[in-house]
Structure 1
């Protein structure tokens, strides 16, 4: 393992893991549903978005079947991302024994959701404590190619090995109420899990308390250590100035730094924000590619021949300063090579490379804009701390009372 990749002190590499890259819903959904179908003891699911479409119905059927055969099933969805689930959808799960929880459900005002900030944006599955999934893919049909031009390009990983114990412990503490955690035995420690491969890994999260910038710090450590190549594919790109500084420094010392961003964004403001950084990055030698086949939703990166990361965290203010996120950092040549092949194919076949604009009459205006954006990024983490902060609640859906319509009640958990 390369000594140059020295993670933050609070993190330790866990050896003996195996990672399988899953691209888009076509590869991801069947593997998750198969794992749930084979579950014997426990299923834990965290997701930002769960839609009641064909994908949501497949997940619903898998969870329902697992609960009916006695598996302990827990689901945590975000109250902003998964706000339109019907009474029938929730009620049937709850009646079968699924513990279905909603993170910080918000009220609507004039049909608008106001609970935008500090969302639970993680996408994690842990089955029987030994098989895990983590990445950026939600449970919605827009992660399948047959959805049409707005289908998303995204990635996740299937995880085996001791690092799954870290994911399990984390989801257990995030999903279960304190009283339930006392009643249920804790999972076995990581050292007690059998090795499944050769990959070293770190499970890293971001919250608004003790781990406010852990994911970003892992990125910056890897960028600082880079000697050959960096490839970052991220849907929503507007990181802080220290992140941009490390990218520029890597490119200026001769590292091949390539950045894949949205060329056909699902929200126009996403591309507008990213383009404000183009001049600053291009002048340092960073190569920028815009993915133009469909909206890019991925959150993956690789550095040199060993380091890689996959997870839920975008490189924008919401993910880096406000939302609850989870990534896995991987040290493994085989996985790095597999991810590089996928991203290289993307750049060669589905991307347009952005060219630097030649000096002209608007050069001064572009420099002024870059200066303003630089200082906006520099101070944003401080400003984010001033934004509304509240103690989020987790609401447990209850079965409908007899004689009443199928509308699950809520109780704090």
Structure 2
């Protein structure tokens, strides 16, 4: 979509709209045959320039809507079903100026033949052209946008985020956030409802000035091209946002298929084992030895929790928590290094994180280095990919490090929220690399149980992101999750860690990793902040497990944990022992997980914790947050509470006892999540198959 097209599309966000129920009609509209309903040539293609279209007439029936417009060569008749996408129940019953939506209706067909049949008593709205629309949006944005130069606002609209601003010649512009000019600053982020509340008085004033008294209107916005919003239906009596959108353009090039996924998986497995063993013999054998050792120890170890059943569950301690200064000194000894310094800001959920993430990429000056377990092939991940391709074309040095098996498996499973008829690219790697200067590498997965589960991004060596979010639509729109924005010297450590992982994923493998370690670590980031500590899991290194186990043993007052995958028996034992010492232990688990066996294993873990006096809270939906606080020491990042994250995968957590950061973690995450969750008071039902699933989860997931 071109720049003027974006301007028109965003203006469509401002109206309060409605599609009221109508009286019955003679029959449902009869569409013509598929051959007669061919799409107009070029209309759905993502061309650099497409001509705006103008509505001629419109009709609203009890289930269908009908719009005719002037096409490039002739009159076109289009429409679709609204009743299966919009529920009018309760619309108009809320407080004044409180609006539902936004809703978007696709044009389901386009044909040259006029509709065979229309409703007997349709709503016939008044048609207003794009000149009206442009005058209206000029008034709206003048009243809403900041007047400070080089600033704008981000507005969430459905599944799109738009950046609204005045350009350098003081003309309003609206772009997808992925197209935000690099020299502009985001001053505010608002949702559609808030934008509508601000715009409503302006709309009333505008229509009064124009002498428009009709209650039902159709605007032609002037928007054009794929994903555009060329029409807006307005009912001034019932507030409901409804926009009409072109269908997306068909994908050019290979699209994803099950066969392609199988082929990619087989190829990656072969490379991980044959080529991987040749170039990474030391790390591959180390991983195998540690997996085998852990499995053998766990197989012969008795059930630890049984040994605690004879001990009473005491009242909670009233005294102070552990000495944090002494605890930090213990961590220095445990890790063999002191904490670094830096700053940390929490980004809770996808809406908050990805707006900031996209903004940071859009303003990058030199480099963007992304390390992620999953770079999905859904519609949202594709938008991120297109942003990276654009920035690479603009001269930014971009490197993307993917976990091979994690990405291949994820791209073979569609999220339930994926838009209908979306065609995914066949290969994420090829999509990023083809006709682009982006450098992409895939981490190998020896023995199929070792993955690079780290999620970090370093931009210009000055700003870093770390946490639990991969790149995909469920992380942006569906799941509850947490990321951190980091500044200061800790960014240098994450930058160095990325460079080592990048070298290890290259052709030289273990040798490349050693050579990278021998290089001096550049100090690029600004020297500021307070003590922060990076903890790792990697071959022969289990810092995240050891540090949190030691924290449990040292805790005297409280332990709060939120994690979706709590399957490690050793940690359950330590938590049960802590509760027997009078420590207040609370755990948040999600009601819904993304792995069935994990759900069953979590149910058994919840029952065991409940039996030993630990308070268990069930979060409504999927929470992918990985955070814990022990008497004022916080540890959060990519690591789950399972054997893979504690002993086998590559993982990265950030830890701190800085009081302000710990307090904010409570305020932003734990306090609201405890409030949203339901405390478990009775154990979950158990079946023999759940115990079998627990064994699988312990060793494989």
Question: Normalising to structure 1: TM-score of the pair?
Answer: 0.76
User: Could you tell me which residue of structure 2 aligns to residue 225 of structure 1?
Assistant: 554
**2:473 paired with 1:141:** yes
* 1:91 CA drift (Å): 4.7
1:161 offset after TM fit, Å?
A: 1.3
Tell me the SS of whatever aligns to 1:237: coil
Which of 618, 629, 636 is 1:310 aligned to? 636
Mapped to 2, the partners of 1:218 and 1:261 lie a distance apart of 21
Alpha-carbon distance in structure 1 between the residues aligned to 2:432 and 2:526: 37
1:13-412 superposed matches below 5 A: 13-83=338-408, 84=411, 85-86=425-426, 90-91=430-431, 93-104=433-444, 116-145=448-477, 151-176=478-503, 177=506, 186-189=520-523, 193-198=525-530, 200-207=531-538, 209-211=539-541, 213-241=542-570, 243-292=571-620, 294-305=621-632, 307-341=633-667, 342-349=669-676, 351-356=677-682
Assess, with a 3 A threshold, how the Cα gap between structure 1 residues 169 and 249 changes in structure 2: closer, same or farther. Answer: same
CA separation of 1:11 and 1:154: change in aligned 2, threshold 3 A: farther
Q: Which has the higher contact order (CA 8 A, sep 6+)?
A: 1
Alpha-carbon distance in 1 for matches of 2:445, 2:437: 21
CA contact (8 A) 1:12 1:202 kept: no
Deviations 1:179-209 (A, max 9, x none): 6977x975424xx7533322x22212212x2
What residue is the counterpart of 1:402 in the other structure? none
The 3 A distance-change label for structure 1 pair 369 and 277 is farther
The 1:94–1:128 alpha-carbon spacing in structure 2 relative to 1, beyond 3 Å, is farther
CA distance in 2, matches of 1:30, 1:48: 20
| Residues 348 and 483, structure 2, Cα contact 8 Å, conserved in 1 | yes
CA gap 1:218/1:347 in 2 versus in 1, 3 angstroms: same
Q: Work out the CA distance in 2 between the residues paired with 1:255 and 1:39.
A: 46
Distance 1:314 1:88 in 2: 25
> Could you tell me whether the CA contact under 8 Å between 1:54 and 1:141 is conserved in 2?
yes
Please, which runs of 5 or more residues in structure 2 have no aligned partner? 1-323, 412-424
Q: Compute the displacement of 1:21 (Å).
A: 0.8
In the alignment, the residues of structure 2 paired with residue 329 and residue 357 of structure 1 have an alpha-carbon distance, to the nearest angstrom, of 33
TM-score by length of 2: 0.46
Distance 1:78 1:159 in 2: 23
Deviation at 1:301, TM superposition (A): 1.0
Stretches of structure 1 lacking an aligned partner (at least 5 in a row): 107-114, 146-150, 388-413
- Pick closer, same or farther for the CA change 1:97–1:353 going to 2, 3 Å: same
Partner-residue secondary structure (3-state), 1:156: strand
Q: Is the 8 A contact 2:365 2:460 kept in 1?
A: yes
Does the Cα contact within 8 Å between 1:78 and 1:102 map onto a contact in 2? yes
- Report the Cα distance in structure 2 between the residues aligned to 1:81 and 1:244, rounded to whole angstroms: 27
How far apart, in 1, do the equivalents of 2:445 and 2:583 lie? 45
Answer whether contact 1:60 1:93 (CA < 8 A) is retained: no
Shift in CA distance, 143/88, structure 1 to aligned 2, threshold 3 Å: closer
Q: Quick check: 156-165 or 11-20, which moved more?
A: 11-20
The CA deviation at 1:247 is 1.1
Larger Cα-atom Rg: 2
How far is 1:304 from its partner? 1.8
In the other structure, the counterpart of 2:190 is none
SS state at 1:309 partner: strand
Deviations 1:353-397 (A, max 9, x none): 111559xxx9xx99x999x99x979xx7xxx6xx9xxxxxxxxxx
How far apart are 1:231 and its partner, in Å?
A: 0.9
SS in 2 for 1:277: helix
1:205, 1:17 → 2: CA distance? Answer: 17
